[in-house]
Amino acid sequence: MQNRILVAGAGGFIGGHLVAELLRKGHKDIRAVDIKPFEEWYQRSPKVENLQLDLRLKAACEQAAAGVNQVYNLAADMGGMGFIELNRGLCMLSVLINTHLLMASRDAGVKRYFYASSACVYAADKQTDTNVTGLCEADAYPAMPEDGYGWEKLFSERMCRHFTEDFGLVTRVARFHNVYGPHGTYDGGREKAPAAISRKVIEAKLKGKKEIEIWGNGEQTRSFMYISDCLNGIDRIVSSDKATFPINLGSSEKVSINQLVDIVEDIAGIKLKRRYNLSAPKGVNGRNSDNTIIKQTLGWEPAMPLRTGMEKTYAWIYEQMTKRA
């Protein structure tokens, strides 16, 4: 079997970066798959096999996995809190992707399978305080994940575990904590907080506005992981023979949404009046990554400072918005 790699969800933000990273590392036989039309992919390389397939369908998964020995499953119908709180049914349908792709990978003799899970699997009752301590991997049980999207992720984690136990398919699972960076969505309803706040501050700067809308009261706490740390972590987890369980992949640098706005305002060189929309989706009150296990297992954790990553992200979004204007 050739050393062919499948990246499912390659038209998305993380998937597009992953394909580019695999190419930089010298991998030549890559199959990139996404449901979106090619012109809507965030990044697309002519050096790989690009396919538009609906991976919710078993036949599409069989086509995608044929002749492959390593799978990265990042495919999902998802977005920021504004999307997942209002589209729970659509998020749940992504369970078909992982289920059918696991079946196809088992039948195709895939050697290693990576599944991109989420911190949304963590129990809601452990995230009620803005001063939350880092969530460790055991905090996913007793199960009380984010409704819709979180349940799909937690169920799919279990599917990976049981395909390893029952069929010998080697699986690796990472729980992503808020990945951000250039070449992602920053408007349209699916964007996450770093991109959304960057867009709002840039709009205010370009249009001479004096105000910014914040979802919630701004006291919600999160951690945000820059895309290069995410790619580094994926590579380490997939390559390791020790990371045999769902493992946190996120920064432990906790900030409030107000502090994130402070950072973006400082990058932009402006100060805005804040209008808090308390009826908008805001998610849990506090969430942060406990990196004890990834440090013990891999001797590493994400390290890009939020300020540095936001400077890069802001610059890219500013360029896109001024070009479009």
Which residues form the catalytic set? 149
Distance CA 199, CA 19 (A): 26
Would you call 31 helix, strand, or coil by DSSP? Answer: strand
Contact between 77 and 89 under an 8 Å Cβ cutoff? The reply is: no
As a whole number of angstroms, the longest Cα–Cα distance in the chain is 60
DSSP category for residue 139: G
Q: Residue 254 pairs with which residues in a beta bridge?
A: 223
Q: Residue 272 pairs with which residues in a beta bridge?
A: none
What tokens does 144 get? Answer: 């009380």
Q: Using alpha carbons only, what angle is made at residue 45 by residues 153 and 193, rounded to the nearest 5 degrees?
A: 45
What tokens does 235 get? Answer: 């590579």
Measured over the CA atoms of residue 235, residue 236, residue 239 and residue 244, the dihedral's sign is negative
Q: Which of 140, 126, 117, 88 is nearest to 287 (CA)?
A: 126
